[in-house]
């Protein structure tokens, strides 16, 4: 990736991963990602904020060479996860004077994950300031966005907040700054849904904490830089709020068409009530899209047939994912078809135990849906419509 200048003596020197399609062997990345690393040259000292994923280390080193960087004083590690800390060991060899700036929790993670010797660290506390001469770095602890050690680095002279994963987007683009806000916010929402949503309460507190700082730009370590931080702050404020949309997520798997028949019926009836529907066949969908739809939907209907006496494994996988993402759903239920019986309802309810949602009467029917079964589905739709009217 080319070196790009953000402001006077502040450069983006990281790497784009254009064709990466999966993160943590779990999270789909339809638009790739980037690992942003920022070089700041003060009048006296030079700092690098975050590094890149290990396979991209050569690119980072090459970028530093392009800027003729012969000395780095501080390697600031906002977050220990390897996509940001992956180059620290190599850089410590190339720049023997460099010290790793990290909080105590991050230091322990880095020693464990990256085998960085204790002697190379300088630990910082919340609110500490490190002088680079005419530029200063202030460290603001923002725990659980999304690991316990995460922090932001604030550069007051240039009004930039380096936020690492916080406010990031999985998006590889040649744009240094956000040029297409709708696209970036969509990718940031995907990122929020998959990484930050389980920590919604603490994310909210951390937003309030950083709002006390006088910054204009947010430079995350994934995706482009927000020259106008308002667009991402407003989006985050909305996502972490308790407000839900008049929207139902229908996520289902069907083996022989019975469950699918009910799902399509529900979709049409719910739409007739003026309620938005997000519709996912779990065998075909990108689970990131499902996660995004859960950020602000009011209700989840999980559709599954009974197979081998329990829910279909695809529905179990989806339920497990929903459970760990902890969306702010208000209502949830299960709909499906069985041949002779089983423990589908109990198993799905157990899988969704983290949800604070009210569990609506499930509709589990025998075989292909018949007139009486459609009556149960109609009743469910009426209940959803009434609950939404009362709640939203
Ligand atoms: Fe981008 Fe939590 O690492």
- Spatial contact of 31 and 24, defined as CB atoms under 8 Å apart: no
Atom of ligand 1 nearest to the CA of 150: 2
Give the pLDDT confidence score for residue 24 in this predicted structure. Answer: 87
pLDDT, tens digit only, all 392 positions of the chain: 689 999 999 999 999 999 999 988 888 999 999 999 999 999 999 999 999 999 999 999 999 999 999 999 999 999 999 999 999 999 999 999 999 999 999 999 999 999 999 999 999 999 999 999 999 999 999 999 999 999 999 999 999 999 999 999 999 999 999 999 999 999 999 999 999 999 999 999 999 999 999 999 999 999 999 999 999 999 999 999 999 999 999 999 999 999 999 999 999 999 999 999 999 999 999 999 999 999 999 999 999 999 999 999 999 999 999 999 999 999 999 999 999 888 999 999 999 999 999 999 999 999 999 999 999 999 999 999 999 999 99
| Ligand 1 pocket member 84 (CB < 6 A) | yes
Distance from residue 31's CA to the centre of ligand 1 (Å): 16
Question: Which of 240, 256, 272 is where one domain is finished?
Answer: 240
Distance from residue 323's CA to the centre of ligand 1 (Å): 21
Number of domains forming the structure of the chain: 2
Range of the domain at 334: 248-387
Atom of ligand 1 nearest to the CA of 165: 1
Q: Do 31 and 83 belong to one domain?
A: yes
Q: Do 64 and 204 belong to one domain?
A: yes
Q: Do 266 and 333 belong to one domain?
A: yes
Give the pLDDT confidence score for residue 2 in this predicted structure. Answer: 87
Atom of ligand 1 nearest to the CA of 164: 1
Give the pLDDT confidence score for residue 1 in this predicted structure. Answer: 64
Q: Do 57 and 149 belong to one domain?
A: yes
| Ligand 1 pocket member 194 (CB < 6 A) | no
Is 370 inside a domain boundary? yes
DSSP string for residues in 189-235: HHHIIIIIGGGHHHHHHHHHHHTTS--SEEEESSS-BBSSTHHHHHH
Q: Do 102 and 180 belong to one domain?
A: yes
Q: Do 206 and 152 belong to one domain?
A: yes
247: nearest Cα among 358, 346, 172, 330: 330
Q: How far, in Å, are 231, 249, 386 from residue 266 at the CA level?
A: 35, 11, 15
Q: Whose CA is nearest to atom 3 of ligand 1?
A: 81
187: nearest Cα among 322, 36, 325, 288: 288
Atom of ligand 1 nearest to the CA of 221: 1
Is 380 inside a domain boundary? yes
Secondary structure element (H or E) that encloses residue 377, with its range: helix 371-391
Q: Do 373 and 342 belong to one domain?
A: yes
Q: Max alpha carbon distance in the chain (Å)?
A: 79
> In this structure, what CATH number is given to the domain that contains residue 10?
3.60.15.10
Distance from residue 79's CA to the centre of ligand 1 (Å): 7
Q: Do 319 and 193 belong to one domain?
A: no
Q: Do 236 and 374 belong to one domain?
A: no
220: nearest Cα among 235, 212, 234, 232: 232
| Ligand 1 pocket member 170 (CB < 6 A) | no
Question: Which of 240, 266, 281 is where one domain is finished?
Answer: 240
Question: Which of 206, 223, 240 is where one domain is finished?
Answer: 240
Q: Do 119 and 227 belong to one domain?
A: yes
- CA–CA gap between residue 176 and residue 14 (Å, rounded): 11
pLDDT tens for each residue of 192-225: 999 999 999 999 999 999 999 999 999 999 999 9
Residue 341 exposed, middle or buried by CB count within 10 Å (0-12, 13-18, 19+): exposed
| Ligand 1 pocket member 165 (CB < 6 A) | yes
- CA–CA gap between residue 185 and residue 377 (Å, rounded): 36
Is 392 inside a domain boundary? no
Distance from residue 299's CA to the centre of ligand 1 (Å): 29
Q: Do 231 and 258 belong to one domain?
A: no
Atom of ligand 1 nearest to the CA of 222: 1
> In this structure, what CATH number is given to the domain that contains residue 313?
3.40.50.360
Q: Do 107 and 210 belong to one domain?
A: yes
Secondary structure element (H or E) that encloses residue 333, with its range: strand 331-338
Spatial neighbors of 21 by CB under 8 A, at least 6 apart, are 28, 29, 30, 32
């Amino acid at each position: 990736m080319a070196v790009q200048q953000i402001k006077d003596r502040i450069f983006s020197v990281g790497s784009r991963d254009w064709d990466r399609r999966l993160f943590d062997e779990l999270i789909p990345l339809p638009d790739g990602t980037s690992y942003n690393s920022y070089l700041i040259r003060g009048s006296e000292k030079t700092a690098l904020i975050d590094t890149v994923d290990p396979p991209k280390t050569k690119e980072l080193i090459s970028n530093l060479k392009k800027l003729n960087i012969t000395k780095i004083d501080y390697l600031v590690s906002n977050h220990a996860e390897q996509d940001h800390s992956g180059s620290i060991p190599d850089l410590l060899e190339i720049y023997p004077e460099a010290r790793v700036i990290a909080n105590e929790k991050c230091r322990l993670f880095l020693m464990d994950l990256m085998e960085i010797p204790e002697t190379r660290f300088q630990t910082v506390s919340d609110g500490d300031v490190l002088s680079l001469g005419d530029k200063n770095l202030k460290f603001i602890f923002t725990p659980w966005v999304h690991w316990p050690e995460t922090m932001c680095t604030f550069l007051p002279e240039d009004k930039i907040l380096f936020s690492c994963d916080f406010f990031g987007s999985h998006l590889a683009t040649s744009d240094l700054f956000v040029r297409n806000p709708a696209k970036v916010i969509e990718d940031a929402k995907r990122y929020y849904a998959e990484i930050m949503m389980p920590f919604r309460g603490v994310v909210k507190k951390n937003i309030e904490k950083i709002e006390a700082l006088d910054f204009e730009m947010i430079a995350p370590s994934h995706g482009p830089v927000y020259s106008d931080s308002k667009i991402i702050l407003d989006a985050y404020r909305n996502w972490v709020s308790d407000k839900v949309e008049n929207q139902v997520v229908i996520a289902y798997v069907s083996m022989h068409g019975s469950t699918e028949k009910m799902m399509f019926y529900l979709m049409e009836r719910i739409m007739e009530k003026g309620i938005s529907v997000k519709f996912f066949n779990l065998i075909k969908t990108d689970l990131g899209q499902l996660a995004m739809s859960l950020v602000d939907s009011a209700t989840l209907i999980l559709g599954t047939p009974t197979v081998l006496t329990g829910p279909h494994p695809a529905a179990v996988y989806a339920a497990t994912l929903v459970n760990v993402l902890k969306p702010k759903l208000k209502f949830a239920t299960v709909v499906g078809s069985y041949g002779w019986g089983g423990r589908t309802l109990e198993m799905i309810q157990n899988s969704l135990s983290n949800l604070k949602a009210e569990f609506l009467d499930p509709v589990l029917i025998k075989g292909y849906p018949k007139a009486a079964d459609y009556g149960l589905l109609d009743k469910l739709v009426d209940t959803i419509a009434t609950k939404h009217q009362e709640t939203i």
